[in-house]
Structure 1
Amino acid sequence: MKVKSLLLFLFLGAELGNAYAQHRERQTHTNDTITSNYQPQELFSPLFYQEKGNEFHSANGNPGPKYWQNRADYVLKAAIDTVSKTLTATENITYTNNSPDALGYLWLHLDQNTYKKDARSNFYTGTAATQHTTGYQLEEVQLIQNGKTYKADYIVTDTRMQIRLPQAVSAGGGKISIAIKYHYTIPGTFGNRTDYSYTKNGAIYEIAQWFPRMCVYDDTHGWDTLPFLGSGEFYLEYGDMDYSVTLPANMIVAGSGELVNPTEVLSPQQISRLNAARNSDKTIMIRTLAEVKEAVAHPQKKGNLTWHFKMLNTRDVAFGASKAYIWDAARINLPGGKKALSMSVYPEESAGNDAWGRSTEYLKGAVEHFSEKWFVYPYPVAINEAGTAGGMEYPGILFDGIGDKGKDLFSVTAHEIGHNWFPMIVGSDERRFAFMDEGFNTFVDIYANDVFNKGEYAPKRDGEYAPNGGNPADEIIPTITDPNAPIIMTAADAVSERYRHPIEYYKAAFGMVLLREQILGKDRFDYAFRNYIHQWAYKHPQPEDFFRSMESGGGEDLSWFWKSWFYNNWKLDMAIVDAHCVNNDLKEGLAVTIANKERMAMPFTVAVTLKDGTQQRMQFPVETWIQNKVVTFTIPVTQEVKTVQLDPDAALPDVNRANNSFMLK
């Protein structure tokens, strides 16, 4: 190096050093004078996971090499007495114990007992129900084990039944069959998720949680026996379900899975129309309003008919039944050339192109989007049913509101069918961890709104995502600043109605948006999230499996985010403290000082608006805050600066936007 060049290098280095020293002096002064609740060592502390990965749940978030889960297959034969409003049924369960434990007793869910006067669900909110049924009336419970039939020794406790076995079900594949004969009174509209209600052309029956179902036995809790209280939903084993329903011949049944005896219950004309619908992207009428008014479902049949359905690899089935149903259908186009059928059934009160006349189109669009984006819809049929349950999901069928129209109908349809991915395909425990059900599903809804019919109903800023139609980042602030708000990880039934949507749906969904759009980026997020879905399809993930999947698949330690957003309601408040030209010389750049004043941290963007109106942006990673409460950095600029803006798109849940702007003199 020449001497002249060396002297120039030393001079420039000294000038840069002087500038840096001035910045550090200014920053030190700032550190001394700014009040901050932020503690880097707290947010970025190690050992977030309490346990290492194991052979059942791997450290990378995948099922381990020895992962197991039990199986329950069902054969059900039911009949509905439309006069007494009674469902009578026989049930045969084949239960397979794939666990490493011999099981000396079994537990089953009896959800209809939630309608009894003394049910626990009458007490957990402090407001007891005023209408009741007598719940399940168990006429006979038998066991078939090792070729012998026994009368079961059982007890019923609220919405659970324990069967005490004469001989344990052996580990590693042992089987037992349970035969149950029962009946119950179908609740009226007070049933909420399952009910009957009246329309001008006849009653509508929405039949769900209608048979005793096996509790999950897993490697986390053993028998998962939380009672059904109402807010917490379901956690069930997978299996094949074969069910039949007998009722008057003038009624239509819309049920989960595939109708396997169409020639016995449908007219030749209806079968022909269904075949046409399977090859049509436009909605085809299967049963018109005129045919409803003729009070005929099957012109060639009288008395009773038995509708027979099968659904494979599912955790539940439900159905709707009515003589008032208008019925239409269209083809669903799935990746890989696969096809399914979108169908809607609804009464005259819901008819019209501004209402349920577009339901099948909405359902088709949502299933096609979710299948292309995340995981292919696995079932032969998707059904939207109009009734008074008004927004409830079961595998392959939705119960949505009779009065829903337009954007509201699209949104509830997309949301409820989205539950077929979370938790029907990815079988999480929604009775404990509602965010893995409602939060994930609300998140994927956002993008379904964006793409349906070229954004006809976009953006999704209604309901649980942004309740008041505003900026989602701003709308979450009242919740995270509320000292009484529960955290996302609160048990579902422990979250009061006031906070249920803000926490379980909205905060969880917005957290996913932050992960995708601010932390990981769309490509890395989508790759990791798709991997999580595919790894845990038809299995039982725990929250840590999701956290680990996103970290391993996305390539980031996200413990700071899980800690602040999911396990706490920590606030974010970043502030611009100062902005000035280095040494008052524009050529040396703009020094900007930013403080983190609350316990959360996030990556962030700073925008500098120049005199001519152009804007320069710089992005900063979350590591900016790994050691510091206050940082100063230099932005090269080419002309006089007018303003500096932190988080210019208002994408972050910053609780005080008033300190996010700085205007230079």
Structure 2
Amino acid sequence: MKLVYTLLFLSCSGLFWAQEWDDKFKQIDNLLPTPNVYRTASGAPGHQYYQQKADYKIKLELDDEQQIIRGEEVITYTNNSPDPLEYLWLQLDQNVRAQHSHSKLISVDNMASFKGINNLERKMFEFDGGFKIEWIKSMNNEDLNYAINQTMLRIDPKTPLKPGGTLTFKVKWWYNINDRMKVGGRSGYEYFEEEDNYLYTIAQFFPRMCVYDDVNGWQNKQFLGRGEFTLPFGDYEVEITVPADHVVAATGELQNASSVLTSQQRERLKKAAEAYDKPVFIITDKEAEENEKGKASGKKKWIFKAQNVRDFAFASSRKFIWDAMTVKQENKNVLAMSFYPKEGNPLWEKYSTRIVAHTLNVYSNYTFDYPYPVAISVHSRHIGMEYPMICFNGGRPEPDGTYSERVKYGMLTVIIHEVGHNYFPMIVNSDERQWTWMDEGLNTFLQYLTEQEWERGYPSRRGPAHKITDYMAGDKSTLSPIMTNSESIWQFGNNAYGKPATALNILRETIMGRELFDYAFKTYARRWMFKHPTPADFFRTMEDASAVDLDWFWRGWFFTTDHVDIGISNVKWYTLNTENPEVESEWRRTHDQQQDVHVGDIRNQSDIEETQTEKYPELNDFYNLKDPYAISPLDTEEYNELLSQLTPEQEKLLNSNLNFYELEFENIGGLVMPLILQLNYTDGTSEVRYIPAEIWRFKSDVITKVFIIEKEVKHFRLDPFLETADTELSNNSWPREVRQSRFQLFREKQLQENEMQRDKRAKEMK
């Protein structure tokens, strides 16, 4: 019986230990899929990796009178998987704007969301924006069976599509284009009432194939509006019919320039192909203003081709100014271009194309050469959205041509970000519907590097560790781990953009170092060019290419909502006892004089007129009369005997005057990080010591560390360069620091003008 109880106790103790022990350095193998023939343990594509191909031939017409897109497409789908496919899934993203879409039904409202007439109007606005599928046919015009489930469409071929086989079919459809100023959206139009003109930025405009892969099978998760688009690669040939005076910018290369451009415009394009320092105008501002005054009759067909892209988008308007310049890459030149209305100037003609070119150069340096022939930035109010070779970006000055600092840097930032998306996810083609951070987070990280290379002191919103601390220290009930599906994320921008970008920046600057990180990051980018990576592929590649164990980092930063709050909770200072009576007697004397005195002793000096031993000296004995700091001959003899037993090295150590500081560190936030400790010495010098995060591997709440130092330390400071995203800096110093701030008694006046307008008014007053 005693043995049974003993075993039961041991069993329960083991269970308790397994449940309670929080191992921050446990490997994350249990959180990742098992490597296989498709994806290796090193993070590279496996020897049987495959991906599907979807080629499109599309003919569409933009109805500028009724704001309708009408189209017909031929899709050739190639099954490169080892699986026979009984059905095919297509995405109908415009159905998110259908009158009875689920995205409208599941939106969470409260009365605060109706505050303001504009919000109320948007809530009540009725708009039927869903796809209208007229038919789906085989190439011999037989109707194909299909079914629509909200934003997904299933096609049922007569026989399963075998491995290595292709299926070609046709779809005819149309939909009403949404007014982005009224109902929002990544795609749509803006109406300019004064001149009765439209600027169209069109995407998600055609039924598109879903991804079928070794991870999810069909990625047919419904589009609810936030989780973006997971798409296979393919070749596109697109004919776009628009009003004759419209100018079109699109994914791919223009095939019929001689039909849609004037000889002067074609000549200017040739000059742009050799313009490496500044843009050349293809259509000037004056030409664009003249073009938008009237509406020409007739139509024009613009033809574009694009190879090995995952999507297609375009913009069309009679308002466009157009400029271009060339970016040199290692193996080819790229034409960087901008299309914008006069309302975008003077910002757009000054900055847009140059920031496009700059972005290509910086991103290519950290990943791979930009493989496409063009990169286009289109001005569109209140939007930032990306597609292969083209993106739609906000940043509009005031009507008088002035602009705030916020508008300027907002425009530069959004162009960098959206052009950067060509790399992630347009080329490194991650699953946006599932893992937003894999494109937004990685892209925001590179965006930060690009911003800093554009201008010293660029006011980057995301990237540096200290800019994410308010979010990470927030209410845990409204935080999600980074590894959360895109539709379920709390605080989307901070979670999917800011936190992963910060994590990568910390890896680069603090954990791995720039050289190791840059090599591993470039390895990942090049391994997965034109392929479909998963989070596991990224995590494994970063470790495999650097020989740095990062499981603790991925676990803490990506799989939890822990935050960084590491403090110095105690400091003890020790020095060596030299055993030399003369040295130690003086040390005791000085040490005793520096001790704090009890208040009672202070008051007794005056309140007690005379003690008994003062009144009767004969009461004093040896202990009263002994000098505590006196050195006897015996003390000297014992010291000399000790010296005779020491080696020269031991004697040197005994007299080295070393300082021993025992520091206690407390992990309050739960997220383990390296200890970056600045030691400020009494002689005015300082040094920084870096202790890897593995110091927490056996105990992750409180640890102690002894520092042996020749100099005397005046002040310790943790994370002196704001590297770790520590959310509470007040406990990072010892002794504690009190930092001065400024209390504002009067509230600042709200300025109704930007700084450029204010400066102009000030000059007029002189």
Question: Which TM-score tier does this pair reach, normalised by the shorter chain?
Answer: 0.7 to 0.9
Matches within 5 A, 1:609-628: 609-628=680-699
Which has the higher Rg, Structure 1 or Structure 2?
2
Matches within 5 A, 1:276-291: 276-281=271-276, 282-291=278-287
Where does residue 430 of structure 1 map in the other structure?
Answer: 432
Mapped to 2, the partners of 1:181 and 1:664 lie a distance apart of: 71
Mapped to 2, the partners of 1:253 and 1:245 lie a distance apart of: 8
Where does residue 153 of structure 1 map in the other structure?
Answer: 145
Q: 1:471: how far off?
A: 3.2
Question: Which of 287, 292, 299 is matched with 2:288 structurally?
Answer: 292
Question: Which of 355, 363, 381 is matched with 1:388 structurally?
Answer: 381
- Structure 1 residue matching 2:657: 3-state secondary structure: helix
More strand by percentage: 1
Q: 1:661: how far off?
A: 1.1
Can you list the C-alpha shifts for 1:572-631, whole angstroms capped at 9, x where unaligned? Answer: 332223334433678223323232324221112111101122102211112211113444
Mapped to 2, the partners of 1:39 and 1:548 lie a distance apart of: 28
Would you say the 8 A contact 2:575–2:659 is kept in 1?
no
Equivalent residue letter for 2:340: Y
Would you say the 8 A contact 1:195–1:389 is kept in 2?
no
Q: 1:298 and 1:170, CA in 2 relative to 1: closer, same or farther beyond 3 A?
A: farther
User: Which is further off, 70-79 or 570-579?
Assistant: 570-579
Can you list the C-alpha shifts for 1:89-114, whole angstroms capped at 9, x where unaligned? Answer: 11000000011110111110011111
TM-score normalized by structure 1?
0.88
Mapped to 2, the partners of 1:285 and 1:129 lie a distance apart of: 43
Where does residue 157 of structure 2 map in the other structure?
Answer: 165
Can you list the C-alpha shifts for 1:355-390, whole angstroms capped at 9, x where unaligned? Answer: 443211111111111112212111111111112351
Where does residue 512 of structure 1 map in the other structure?
Answer: 504
Equivalent residue letter for 1:614: T
Matches within 5 A, 1:522-537: 522-537=514-529
1:397 aligns with 2:390: yes
Where does residue 707 of structure 2 map in the other structure?
Answer: 635
Q: 1:129: how far off?
A: 7.0
Where does residue 256 of structure 2 map in the other structure?
Answer: 261
Mapped to 1, the partners of 2:202 and 2:320 lie a distance apart of: 15
Can you list the C-alpha shifts for 1:171-213, whole angstroms capped at 9, x where unaligned? Answer: 1x11001201111111112241111112355210111000100
Equivalent residue letter for 2:660: L
Mapped to 2, the partners of 1:323 and 1:425 lie a distance apart of: 31
1:547 aligns with 2:546: no
Mapped to 2, the partners of 1:643 and 1:121 lie a distance apart of: 56
Question: Which of 402, 407, 420 is matched with 2:409 structurally?
Answer: 407
User: Which is further off, 290-299 or 437-446?
Assistant: 290-299
Where does residue 19 of structure 1 map in the other structure?
Answer: none
Can you list the C-alpha shifts for 1:526-571, whole angstroms capped at 9, x where unaligned? Answer: 1111111111111111111111111111212211111111110112
Matches within 5 A, 1:337-356: 338-352=332-346, 354-356=347-349
Would you say the 8 A contact 2:508–2:517 is kept in 1?
yes
Where does residue 23 of structure 1 map in the other structure?
Answer: none
Would you say the 8 A contact 2:659–2:711 is kept in 1?
no
Mapped to 1, the partners of 2:435 and 2:396 lie a distance apart of: 30
Name structure 2 gaps, 5 residues minimum: 1-18, 110-122, 398-406, 578-655, 738-766
Equivalent residue letter for 1:65: H
Aligned-pair identity in percent equals 35
Q: 1:523 and 1:571, CA in 2 relative to 1: closer, same or farther beyond 3 A?
A: same
User: Which is further off, 305-314 or 398-407?
Assistant: 398-407
Mapped to 2, the partners of 1:295 and 1:277 lie a distance apart of: 22
Q: 1:570 and 1:664, CA in 2 relative to 1: closer, same or farther beyond 3 A?
A: closer
Mapped to 1, the partners of 2:124 and 2:101 lie a distance apart of: 10
TM-score normalized by structure 2?
0.76
Mapped to 2, the partners of 1:93 and 1:238 lie a distance apart of: 12
1:321 aligns with 2:316: yes
Q: 1:54: how far off?
A: 0.8
Q: 1:72 and 1:557, CA in 2 relative to 1: closer, same or farther beyond 3 A?
A: same
Would you say the 8 A contact 2:424–2:442 is kept in 1?
yes
Q: Which has the higher contact order (CA 8 A, sep 6+)?
A: 1
Equivalent residue letter for 1:398: C
Equivalent residue letter for 1:512: L
Equivalent residue letter for 1:174: G
Mapped to 2, the partners of 1:611 and 1:66 lie a distance apart of: 64
Q: 1:473: how far off?
A: 5.0
Q: 1:326 and 1:664, CA in 2 relative to 1: closer, same or farther beyond 3 A?
A: closer
1:588 aligns with 2:658: yes
Question: Which of 204, 225, 236 is matched with 1:209 structurally?
Answer: 204
Equivalent residue letter for 2:344: S
Equivalent residue letter for 1:521: G
Equivalent residue letter for 1:226: K
Matches within 5 A, 1:446-595: 446-452=448-454, 455-456=455-456, 458-462=457-461, 464-465=462-463, 471-472=466-467, 474-479=469-474, 482-496=476-490, 499-583=491-575, 587-595=657-665
Mapped to 2, the partners of 1:253 and 1:390 lie a distance apart of: 19
Name structure 1 gaps, 5 residues minimum: 1-37
Q: 1:391: how far off?
A: 0.6
Would you say the 8 A contact 2:444–2:498 is kept in 1?
yes
Equivalent residue letter for 1:638: E
Matches within 5 A, 1:64-213: 64-127=46-109, 130-144=125-139, 149-171=141-163, 173-189=164-180, 190-199=183-192, 200-201=194-195, 202-213=197-208
Which stretches of structure 1, 4 residues or more, deviate above 4 A after TM superposition? 38-41, 296-299
Equivalent residue letter for 1:185: N
Mapped to 1, the partners of 2:390 and 2:71 lie a distance apart of: 21
Q: 1:39: how far off?
A: 8.0
Would you say the 8 A contact 2:322–2:337 is kept in 1?
yes
Mapped to 2, the partners of 1:450 and 1:46 lie a distance apart of: 35
Where does residue 723 of structure 2 map in the other structure?
Answer: 651
Equivalent residue letter for 2:92: L
